[in-house]
Amino acid sequence: MAEAIVFWTLAVLILGLGIMVISARSAVHSVLFLVVNFLLVAVLYVMLNAEFVAVIQVLVYAGGIVVLYLFVVMLVSLKKAPERYADPRRVAWTGTLLAGAVLLEVVAIVVASSGGGEPAATEGALGAADTPFAECGAGPLVSCNTEQLGWVLYTSYLIPFEVASMLLLVAMIGAIVLAKRHL
Amino acid sequence: MTLEAPRTSATQFDTDELVINMGPQHPSTHGVLRVVLKLDGERVIDADCVIGYIHRGIEKLSENRDWTQIILLTDRMDYVAAATNNLGYCQTVEKLMQIEVPRRARYIRTVLAELQRIASHCLWLGTHAMDIGAMTVLLYAFREREFVLDLFEEFCGARLTYNAMRIGGLPLDIPPGWDRKVLSFCDLMEGKLNDYETLLTNNRIWLKRTRGVGVIGGDEAIGLGLCGPPLRGSGVPRDVRKDEPYAAYDELEFNVPLGTRGDTYDRYLIRMDEFRESIRLIRQAVEGIPEGPIMGKVPRLIKPPAGETYHAIESPKGELGYFIVSDGKSTNPYRFRVRPPSFCNLQGLKRLVTGHLVADVVALIGTIDIVLGEVDR
Amino acid sequence: MMDTVVVPLLKIAVLLNAVLVAVTFLVLMERKVIAWAQSRLGPMRVGPYGILQAIADPIKLILKEDITPARADKYVFTLAPIMSLVPALVVFSVVPFGPDPFYYVSDINVGLLFVISVTSIGVYGIILGGWASNSKYPLLASLRASAQLISYEIAVTMTLVSVILTTGTLSLVGIVEAQREGGLWFAFVQPVALMLVFIGGLAETNRAPFDLPEAETELTGGFHTEYSGMRFSLFFLAEYANMIVISAVVVIMFFGGWLAPFPNVPALSFLGLVPAWIWFIGKIFLFLYVFIWIRATLPRYRYDQLMGLGWKVLIPIAIGNLVVTGILKVAL
Amino acid sequence: MADETRSQAGKDGADRQPAAGVAGSAAPAAKREAGKKSAAPAKAPAAAAKPRPKPKPKAPPEPPKAPEDQAPPDGMEIPAMVAALQNGVSGAVLKVSFWVGDWTVIVAPDRLLDVMRFLRDDAATAFDYCSDVTAADWPPREKRFDVVYCLYSTRLRQRIRVKVRVGEEDPVESVTGLWPAADWLEREVFDQFGVNIVNHPNLRRILMPEQWQGHPQRKDYPLEGPGELLMENPQDWLRVRNLPDEAGPGPAADGEIE
């Protein structure tokens, strides 16, 4: 019972913060809401006995990646309204379509995995960290401690894991190419 | 048409240049220097010095004061090296009036000037190291500077603005036992110099922060009008004490330390060597002080004949020149001009900092060793 | 109820107070040690030998006017010091001061990772403080800070992984126990890792020679230039609390936590007479002394050199150390 | 009084025109009569507007006379550097002077750049180091400024001074192109004297604030400024301060002069 209360409170808070992230006027405030959001998600993991994932969530997302977001956002001149940065070629309906597709996909994965079927391993390419998290949350009775997580990652999910790392490498090289003026 | 603009901004980030004001209130600008820095990230792409915050019109004031009253005003220019300022001015007037200064006075003047160089370099070392983050050196260097100030206090009663010389000689003879104290200070200072060098000279971080920072070649340094240690750091053998000897320098032996690379580290090494050369000079001069009067034959009313002259000495900061015009009638100089070494060295700052990082700016302000009282006058 | 709520709460209260008091005295210690290094006396006026300066300083900071710049982002400006201090204090919940559960609030199985991840939250305080001030020098400092902290976090974490490889556990109690069983502090097993963690720790706490984000002589105080009064003192507390955290981590990881030196050598068993927590705190203060000593001695790195050191020296060495440790682990 | 001034100025040198002497000295004479009683209010506005010769609050009994540029004594050998200059840039050197060991050449202002380039580049002169650029102001004289360049050769270890005489509006070519060192020094000369330096890359005030009126080192610029006025009589000071800047010299000063 207590667990349910905590879960629903957290769920509402996380969703609320998610909305705050996209609706906040100042980009820095958005990022702050995102950080709190991630921390709450970490609490959710702790509730699922996935301490390792929780800690990694804080370490990698809250402590690392979002810091970089903040880094970039801070440099955006706040004198101009955000609309000024909008791409004139932006096509709204493509985005809506893509978002809808992703939503469908996620729902499909959840339905498939809770049905006891094989999780779609190839979806791992979607994002590096998505797969283990989804797995921990949804997997039946996997007490997600560090050792087991390692086993799972390096056996059944080896290929997605490697694909994800390749993706990250590509992203890193791309970032360097973009940022470096003279190579 | 509309497609063009976003494409350029996508391939080439439009990064804003950040303009920051370093000073006039900043812990590392050694006074009220203001440097307007244009930054690309942390890299300096342009710098502009704004000076004049403590311009007191010393030149204008001096043109309305008696010849003897001006000595006191020169104290207030480079206030960490007041004695050399006094010396430069007195010698210029002596040159205008063709006064012969007794040998004893010249020797004592040399001792005072070299003690002053040690005091000034102590202050430079402390603040320069502090700017780069080695704060202990600051306290050590100030501790030794206190000894010099004590010596000056014993000689003339003042610790900062000495008013220590007179046209034609010195106001006072050295107090008894003073020469021995000077010599024991020399011994002490030599030991302390080794302490400083232990902390800095081979320190990896110090080397990283100073090697290759603010490199300037000899010809360019000459063209920019650098003087003193910044010029010698670029390997130009220019020292007024050697080239145009004054006081007792032509009778004493000393070397002029020269750099090779012209970077901040070389300028640091040169000043450390100058400490040692100063000690050597002081020892020779103190031991060689002859007996005799301390004042030359000076008329009661100082009124140099009409004429003009430029006379330079080597102050701790570089070539300190006085250009004085006398109209031969009034009891004050018609034109009194100081060629301040800090001013001319500061001019090179823009050239030195361009392309370096913000952190190097403070190192470079430190390395050219400015005193704003002299820059602004 | 007693065991699950009251006792932990009591422990937390005692621990928090102890840490905050330790921080104030650490400030005094820093002032005194640096003063001695510089042939000065340091604070001498308040109490005998200036001991009460530790109390006078916080009182002064609390009583000072707390200024918010007119064009600052007020909420973030207030939030930043809190975000800086809270993680530093939270970390102490897993630090074991002794072998029994009495000496720690909790022992979680990912203790070490918990320490790393929670301290990594502390960087927000610095970044946001610099940004919210709406001032140029703090902004530059917060840029430096974020780059520096992220870079060195990578190096430190990678190094700690090699220690974890040797122990096989992430629990801080477990790591100390592993050293007791091995009879040898990990400082002798993993000397390279020790150096890396210590250097990285200096950088993560913004201590000299890596105190770039607050370099007084370059950035006029860095990210807390615009702060005053209580909010400034929170930043101050956070820095010193972080120093204690890093020292504690180093002691636990490499110097046997609460263990006496060479716990398995019978000839030295008399050292066990000293209570465990005294060993632990004593070692922590030894490291704090080293922190202060370094600050009194070394000049400051430059920003690009700092990043170069982090990425081109520390991280490769950390990876190398990890690889060597792994090979040895498998081979032996 | 004014006549006396003029005769002094006339005697001073052949290149001065008497008319200028009148213009320059009449104002001080008038000022002296009115100035004694209400010296204070008149001083402050004198800080405004440069082209007009300003009243002298403390005019000496007679205008100072620039020292003669002493010719070298007979039989003294002209050093190689001066001889080379005289041969190299013919006709530019108006006079050679020697005084207490310093050699000075007085140069025609329009040939300044040629002379300087020669001095820097010729092997016998090789003045690669510009020690100082400064000026002296001799108000009643028509070419009131002596602009003085102190040069030094780090290779030959010799010094020379180059002097040009110019009036208030006469252009003086900047030597920044030859010696970057002259940049700030010339700026200071411009700031303190208002010498019309041309072709300078960045001619701004350097020691005084950007919006400062007047050039402090000129002899007709008062030694005491509004600061002392403020101490003596705050009401007057306020009135002077509140005058619009573009109005030039304050009405009080105008009234006294005209």
- Find which of A75, A78, A84, A85 to mutate to test the B interface (most B CBs within 10 Å of its CB): A75
- Touching subunits of C (3+ CB pairs, under 8 Å) are A, B
pLDDT at position A20, please?
87
| Residues D143/D144/D150/D151 CA torsion (nearest 10 deg) | -20
Residue A166 has pLDDT above 90, yes or no: yes
Closest chain B CA to residue C215: B133
Lowest average pLDDT, out of A106-115, B40-49, D17-26, D173-182, goes to: D17-26
CA dist., res. A137 & res. A130, Å (int): 11
Phi/psi of residue B356, nearest 5 degrees: -100, 180
Structural domain range at position C233 = 2-331
Q: How far is CA D186 from CA B368, C293, D174, in A?
A: 21, 50, 7
CA dist., res. D55 & res. B163, Å (int): 35
Residue B36 DSSP SS3? strand
Q: A12 with A67, same domain? A: yes
Min Cα–Cα distance to chain B from A170, Å? 18
Of A55, A62, A74, the CB nearest to C113: A55
Q: Could you write out the DSSP letters of every residue in B4-26?
A: HHHHHHHHS--PPPEEEEE-SS-
Q: Does A105 or D62 have the greater pLDDT score?
A: A105
pLDDT at position C39, please?
84
Residue D36 has pLDDT above 50, yes or no: no
Closest chain A CA to residue C149: A64
Where residue A56 sits, what CATH number does that domain have? Answer: 1.20.120.1200
Residue A135 lies in a domain: yes
CA-closest candidate to residue B120, choices B376, B315, B264, B345:
B315
B–D contact (≥3 CB pairs within 8 Å)?
Answer: yes
The torsion region of residue B30 among left (phi > 0), alpha (psi -120 to 50) and beta comes to left
Residues in chain D: 258
B–A contact (≥3 CB pairs within 8 Å)?
Answer: yes
CA dist., res. B341 & res. B369, Å (int): 10
pLDDT at position A167, please?
93
Residue B34 DSSP SS3? strand
| Residues D170/D175/D176/D180 CA torsion (nearest 10 deg) | -150
* pLDDT band (50, 70, 90) for residue A21: confident
| Residues A130/A132/A137/A140 CA torsion (nearest 10 deg) | 140
* Contact in structure between C211 and C30 (CB atoms under 8 Å): no
Residue A109 lies in a domain: no
Closest chain B CA to residue D148: B323
Which chain C residues are closer than 8 Å to A29 by Cβ?
Answer: 75-76
Residue B208 has pLDDT above 80, yes or no: yes
* Contact in structure between B275 and B254 (CB atoms under 8 Å): no
* pLDDT band (50, 70, 90) for residue A102: very high
Q: How far is CA D162 from CA B337, C120, D129, D217, in A?
A: 16, 67, 13, 20
Q: Does D65 or A156 have the greater pLDDT score?
A: A156
Give me the sign of the Cα torsion angle A164, A166, A168, A171: negative
Instruction: Say which residues have a Cβ less than 8 Å from residue D43's Cβ, sequence separation at least 6.
Output: D57, D222, D224, D225, D226, D229
Min Cα–Cα distance to chain A from C139, Å? 8
Q: CB distance A70–C127 less than 8 Å?
A: yes
Share of chain B above pLDDT 70, in %: 96
Min Cα–Cα distance to chain C from A60, Å? 8
Residue A103 lies in a domain: no
Closest chain B CA to residue A85: B6
Q: CB distance C220–B129 less than 8 Å?
A: no
CA-closest candidate to residue D150, choices D189, D204, D122, D195:
D189
pLDDT at position C155, please?
86
Q: CB distance B310–D131 less than 8 Å?
A: yes
Q: Does B197 or D85 have the greater pLDDT score?
A: B197
D172 - beta bridge partners? D197
pLDDT at position A101, please?
92
CA dist., res. D205 & res. B174, Å (int): 45
Degrees, nearest 5: CA angle D93-D98-D101: 135
pLDDT at position D32, please?
42
The domains of chain D are located at 2-62+219-257, 80-198
CA dist., res. C74 & res. B333, Å (int): 60
CB pairs < 8 Å spanning A and C: 74
- Touching subunits of A (3+ CB pairs, under 8 Å) are B, C
Instruction: Say which residues have a Cβ less than 8 Å from residue C217's Cβ, sequence separation at least 6.
Output: B27, B28, B130, B131, B132, B133, B362, C300
Looking at residues B252-274, what average pLDDT do you find?
89
Per-residue confidence of chain C (332 residues) as pLDDT tens digits?
567 778 778 888 888 888 888 888 888 888 888 888 888 888 888 878 888 888 888 888 888 888 888 887 888 888 888 888 888 888 888 888 877 777 777 777 778 888 888 888 888 888 888 888 888 888 888 888 878 888 888 888 888 888 888 887 778 888 888 887 777 787 777 888 888 888 888 888 878 788 777 766 677 777 788 888 888 888 888 888 888 888 888 888 888 877 777 767 777 677 767 777 888 888 888 888 998 888 888 888 888 888 888 888 888 998 898 888 888 888 87
Which helix or strand (DSSP H or E) is residue B269 part of?
helix B264-287
Residue D49 has pLDDT above 60, yes or no: no
> What is the 3-state composition of chain B as percent helix, strand, coil, each rounded to the nearest 5?
50, 10, 40
- Find which of C82, C91, C121, C161 to mutate to test the A interface (most A CBs within 10 Å of its CB): C121
Lowest average pLDDT, out of A123-132, B11-20, B50-59, B99-108, goes to: A123-132
* pLDDT band (50, 70, 90) for residue B6: very low
Closest chain A CA to residue C114: A55
pLDDT at position D256, please?
38
Rounded mean pLDDT of chain A? 75
Is pTM beyond 0.90 here?
Answer: no
Q: CB distance D184–B55 less than 8 Å?
A: no
Q: How far is CA C77 from CA A82, B183, C229, D148, in A?
A: 22, 58, 13, 57
Looking at residues A10-36, what average pLDDT do you find?
86
- Single-letter code of the amino acid located at B201: T
Of D99, D150, D182, the CB nearest to B323: D150
Share of chain A above pLDDT 90, in %: 11
SS3 track for chain C: CHHHHHHHHHHHHHHHHHHHHHHHHHHHHHHHHHHHHCCCCCCCCCCHHHCCHHHHHHHHHHHCCCCCCCCCCHHHHHHHHHHHHHHHHHHHHHCCCCCCHHHCCCCCCCHHHHHHHHHHHCHHHHHHHHHHCCCHHHHHHHHHHHHHHHHHHHHHHHHHHHHHHHHCCCCHHHHHHHHHHHCCCHHHHCHHHHHHHHHHHHHHCCCCCCCHHHCHHHHCCHHHCCCCHHHHHHHHHHHHHHHHHHHHHHHHHHCCCCCCCCCCCHHHHHHHHCCHHHHHHHHHHHHHHHHHHHHHHCCCCCHHHHHHHHHHHHHHHHHHHHHHHHHHHHHC
Min Cα–Cα distance to chain D from B319, Å? 8
Residue A48 DSSP SS3? coil
Which chain B residues are closer than 8 Å to C297 by Cβ?
Answer: 134, 136, 199
Residue A101 lies in a domain: no
Q: CB distance B13–A88 less than 8 Å?
A: no
* A36-75 tens-digit pLDDT: 888 888 888 888 777 788 888 888 888 778 887 887 777 6
CA dist., res. B27 & res. B366, Å (int): 11
Q: Please name the residues between 75 and 94 in chain A that touch chain B, using a CB distance below 8 Å.
A: 77, 87-89
Residue B266 DSSP SS3? helix
Q: A1 with A70, same domain? A: yes
Min Cα–Cα distance to chain A from B213, Å? 23
Q: CB distance A179–B16 less than 8 Å?
A: no
Residue B372 has pLDDT above 50, yes or no: yes
Residue B307 has pLDDT above 90, yes or no: no
As for how many domains chain C has, the answer is 1
Residue D22 has pLDDT above 60, yes or no: no
CB pairs < 8 Å spanning B and D: 115
* Contact in structure between B43 and B355 (CB atoms under 8 Å): yes
Structural domain range at position A36 = 1-77
Looking at residues B37-53, what average pLDDT do you find?
84
Q: CB distance B347–D184 less than 8 Å?
A: yes
Rounded mean pLDDT of chain B? 85
Closest chain C CA to residue B24: C220
pLDDT at position A143, please?
42
CATH 1.10.645.10 assigned to domain B16-376? The reply is yes
| Residues B129/B134/B139/B142 CA torsion (nearest 10 deg) | -10
Of C110, C118, C127, the CB nearest to A146: C110
As for how many domains chain A has, the answer is 2
Place of tokens 């192109």: D177
CA dist., res. B319 & res. B225, Å (int): 10
Residue B9 has pLDDT above 60, yes or no: no
Min Cα–Cα distance to chain A from B352, Å? 24
Instruction: Say which residues have a Cβ less than 8 Å from residue C47's Cβ, sequence separation at least 6.
Output: C53
CA-closest candidate to residue B272, choices B343, B206, B190:
B190
The alpha-carbon radius of gyration of chain A (Å, integer) is: 19
Looking at residues B29-42, what average pLDDT do you find?
81
Q: Could you write out the DSSP letters of every residue in chain D?
A: -HHHHHHHHHHH-TT--HHHHHHHHHHHHHHHHHHTTTHHHHHGGGGS-SSSPPPPTT--SS---PPP-PPPPTTPPPPHHHHHHHHHSTTTEEEEEEETTEEEEEE-GGGHHHHHHHHHHSTTT---EEEEEEEEE-TTSSS-EEEEEEEEETTTTEEEEEEEEE-SS--EE--TTT-TTHHHHHHHHHHHH---EES-TT---SSS-TT--S-TTSTTS-SS-HHHHHHH-HHHHHHHHHS-GGG-S-HHHHHHH-
Query: D80-198 sits in which CATH class?
Result: alpha beta
* pLDDT band (50, 70, 90) for residue D229: low
D166 - beta bridge partners? D145
* pLDDT band (50, 70, 90) for residue D100: confident
CA dist., res. C43 & res. C32, Å (int): 7
The domains of chain B are located at 16-376
Chain-centroid distance of CA C113 in Å reads 15
* Contact in structure between B75 and B85 (CB atoms under 8 Å): yes
Share of chain D above pLDDT 90, in %: 0
Q: Does C182 or B85 have the greater pLDDT score?
A: B85
- Find which of B205, B356, B357, B364 to mutate to test the C interface (most C CBs within 10 Å of its CB): B205
Min Cα–Cα distance to chain B from C135, Å? 10
Lowest average pLDDT, out of B18-32, C103-117, D56-70, D127-141, goes to: D56-70
CA-closest candidate to residue D151, choices D112, D187, D190, D188:
D112
pLDDT at position B2, please?
36
Which chain B residues are closer than 8 Å to D217 by Cβ?
Answer: 59-60
Lowest average pLDDT, out of A108-112, B249-253, C73-77, D47-51, goes to: D47-51
CA dist., res. C232 & res. C145, Å (int): 17
Structural domain ending residue among the three candidates A19, A44, A77:
A77
Residue D54 has pLDDT above 80, yes or no: no
CA dist., res. B161 & res. B76, Å (int): 7
